[in-house]
Structure 1
Amino acid sequence: PFVKIVQIWHADGAIKKFGWEDPTTDKRSRSDKRRFQKVYDHFDEYIVASKAMGQVFVHSYHENFDKMQLLGYPRSDQYLSQDWQHKARERIYRSAPELKNHRVILYAPTYREHQDFKLPKGLGSALAADPTALVVVKLHPVLRDKEVPMRRIGNPKIKFYHELETSDLLAVADTLVTDYSSVAFDFSLLPNAKSIIFFMFDLDRYRSDPGIQDDFLNWLPVEPVYKVEQLRNEILAATSVNFDKFNAHWNTYNDGQATDRVIARYVKFLGSN
């Protein structure tokens, strides 16, 4: 039987580089590179939510844009569903009722492979600079030991909810503090998204491994910050962010109906074979 292999990426957009765009790929052996491309060439189609993400795959996997299907990102549908938003808030408030009626600042940085990675000194107090807010720290499970310095502060306004899903926490956050993580593309779709801060304290290192999209400063909805003191100032300013251009660039085809379009395409394909 004929088989069609479809790539539905784990993220709606890309701040990081990957594939051939990752600077470390150049250091790999020829056999590794052949193996990588053999894997990439197996994909018949890519489900994307924007031409921007399609171009990322073109450059990262050396693929043709013809393979890109501009259908929207299925997982984005939940963020555009009022029913999902309501249930996500209910799930959070059931476990963490203290978050209700507060400004919630969610710190959700991306995963880092470097074993010597350290969160910058003073980060906890900067995140908690707004006395009226509660801060939720959500690190990747591999990096949980990096929470220790912030836990030692003992600030009751800094919370750690390992059992709660990041996607649900996005539904109650007023401000997202992240860096190179794809959560930014999800958060920007939510009606509660008031502001976002890109805290890129290790940008120089991250540019070399795994790399950052070359044009990221052109489409981020706000200028990134690099120092803890800048982060503190942005937390206190709580400046509202307009996500319209950012969403037009990355969430172009995300309208809450992406899953239906994807299913319809491949049901039709199955019916014709």
Structure 2
Amino acid sequence: MIKELFIRVYNFFVSRFFLLMRVLPVKNSVVILTSFGDNIDYIIRHPKMRLYDEVIIFSSRQYDFKTFDNVKVYTHSSLSVKELYEIGRAKNIIVDNHFPVIGGMSTLKPYVKVFQTWHAVGAVKAFGLMDESFKHRPDCAKTRFKKTYQNVDYYVAGSKRMADIFKQTFSIDDKKIIKAAMPRLDFYREQSNIQSTRDNVRSRLNLDDEVIVVTYAPTYRENQFNISDIPLDISKMSQQLPSNYRIALRLHPTVQLDTDIKGVIDLTDGFSLEEVLSVTDILITDYSSVGFEFANLMRPVIYYPYDLDEYTNTKGLIDDYESLVTTNIAYSTDEILEMIKNDDFSAEEIRQFKDLWNDYNNQNNTNTLLSMLQ
């Protein structure tokens, strides 16, 4: 209850601050709040962004954003007066996550628009109003959450399936949905982008053309801090797969990779997600949204939910797991090996999976989003 009281006081303070800011003239600016950074380069390099006097980014992590004369980057902090001041005077707000400050945005100038790009193509893990923890919150907190989600004017959804999930998890209607994928998914619309990125990464890794890369990219788990904590027998896979197969790992930065695992490619640091997926021939994941994005490449995905029951009970899932992913579900290293060795993948199923989660990714997504900015 103490945390809830603090949040309500914070929201009250922020809303009053924005109310006072109404007396000041609006600036010809766009404010971007980001946790993930992946969409930002696509947004800020768009020609429309040069029409604004300022494009102000508040980032919770250090990203090497492409710089322009009108772009300014600051460290994100919901308690920063600078951040509140810039939000209160901006024409447009773009966010890629749920930030506490959104709870006070109901008193922004009425013509100011707030856009949510989100940060995932699809969803397995429950979030928003469907999160397991939401069920145990007091009624006042549930009401606050619902009001907060209404403060966002538009949500970018890359598929009808994701739009339906947003409507349920954020308690919104169709009028708030922009039928376009996240800006960074523009990358997958040009085969030349994919091929040149793939060639570049393979060159950096000294991989021959014959090498097939199998990448394991699990979701973050609080109890895993070393690769040995992950129940996937990587050594066995390396030994039993043909010699032209290489295992790659895309782990959470907190997970330590053992240096004695020979021949394993570490893609955790120094590679963007687009680079990782471009070089990957077969992806292994679990509850991460990375599989839905990888589907744009029309390559096989193996889902490995070895702790499905535990994860469902503690974290919660959007829906029945089997209805969210492909039929290539494995529960052991041996099952994964069997799928790979037998090339047990259906091109038609891969296409259907791609279409289900990416059916709005058929346009210039960045342009569609930014055309709605004032």
The alignment's TM-score, normalised by the length of structure 2, stands at: 0.64
Gaps in structure 2 of 5+ consecutive residues: 1-108
Instruction: Pick one of 172, 181, 191 that aligns with 1:82.
Output: 191
**Secondary structure of the structure 2 residue equivalent to 1:69:** strand
Query: 2:214 maps to which residue?
Result: 105
- 1:134 equivalent to 2:240? Answer no
Query: 2:370 maps to which residue?
Result: 263
- 1:221 positional shift: 2.5
1:131-155 CA-to-partner distances (Å, cap 9, x unmatched) read: 220111110112x22x33xx44x33
Q: Is the 8 A contact 1:79 1:186 kept in 2?
A: no
Deviates more, 1:9-18 or 1:67-76: 67-76
Query: 2:47 maps to which residue?
Result: none
- 1:254 positional shift: 0.6
Deviates more, 1:41-50 or 1:106-115: 106-115
The alignment's TM-score, normalised by the length of structure 1, stands at: 0.85
Query: 1:199 maps to which residue?
Result: 304
Query: 2:315 maps to which residue?
Result: 210
Instruction: Pick one of 340, 344, 349 that aligns with 1:239.
Output: 344
Query: 2:135 maps to which residue?
Result: 26
1:144-171 CA-to-partner distances (Å, cap 9, x unmatched) read: 22x33xx44x332x22133222320211
Change (3 A) 1:24 1:114: farther
Residue 165 of structure 1 aligns to which amino acid in structure 2? S
Change (3 A) 1:21 1:116: farther
Identity over aligned pairs, percent: 29
Greater Cα radius of gyration, structure 1 or 2: 2
1:158-169 equivalence runs, <5 A? 158-161=264-267, 162-169=269-276
Q: Is the 8 A contact 1:129 1:235 kept in 2?
A: no
Residue 261 of structure 1 aligns to which amino acid in structure 2? T
- 1:116 positional shift: 7.8
Instruction: Pick one of 11, 14, 17 that aligns with 2:123.
Output: 14
In 2, Cα distance between the equivalents of 1:208 and 1:257?
39
1:178-234 CA-to-partner distances (Å, cap 9, x unmatched) read: 11111112211115x2x2100111111211232222144235222311122212222
Q: Is the 8 A contact 2:119 2:182 kept in 1?
A: no
Change (3 A) 1:10 1:99: farther
In 2, Cα distance between the equivalents of 1:59 and 1:265?
24
Q: Is the 8 A contact 1:103 1:174 kept in 2?
A: yes
Residue 196 of structure 2 aligns to which amino acid in structure 1? K
Instruction: Pick one of 83, 92, 95 that aligns with 2:201.
Output: 92
Change (3 A) 1:128 1:37: farther
In 2, Cα distance between the equivalents of 1:216 and 1:70?
25
In 1, Cα distance between the equivalents of 2:164 and 2:272?
30
Q: Is the 8 A contact 2:158 2:358 kept in 1?
A: yes
Query: 1:44 maps to which residue?
Result: 153
Query: 2:144 maps to which residue?
Result: 35
Change (3 A) 1:68 1:226: same
In 2, Cα distance between the equivalents of 1:34 and 1:115?
34
In 1, Cα distance between the equivalents of 2:239 and 2:368?
42
Residue 265 of structure 1 aligns to which amino acid in structure 2? M
Q: Is the 8 A contact 2:303 2:328 kept in 1?
A: yes
- 1:42 positional shift: 0.8
Gaps in structure 1 of 5+ consecutive residues: none
Query: 2:168 maps to which residue?
Result: 59
Deviates more, 1:127-136 or 1:74-83: 127-136
Residue 210 of structure 1 aligns to which amino acid in structure 2? K
Residue 218 of structure 2 aligns to which amino acid in structure 1? P
In 1, Cα distance between the equivalents of 2:279 and 2:247?
11
Change (3 A) 1:256 1:128: farther
- 1:155 equivalent to 2:262? Answer yes
Query: 1:251 maps to which residue?
Result: 358
Q: Is the 8 A contact 1:12 1:49 kept in 2?
A: yes
Q: Is the 8 A contact 1:222 1:241 kept in 2?
A: no
Deviates more, 1:121-130 or 1:212-221: 121-130
Aligned residues: 259
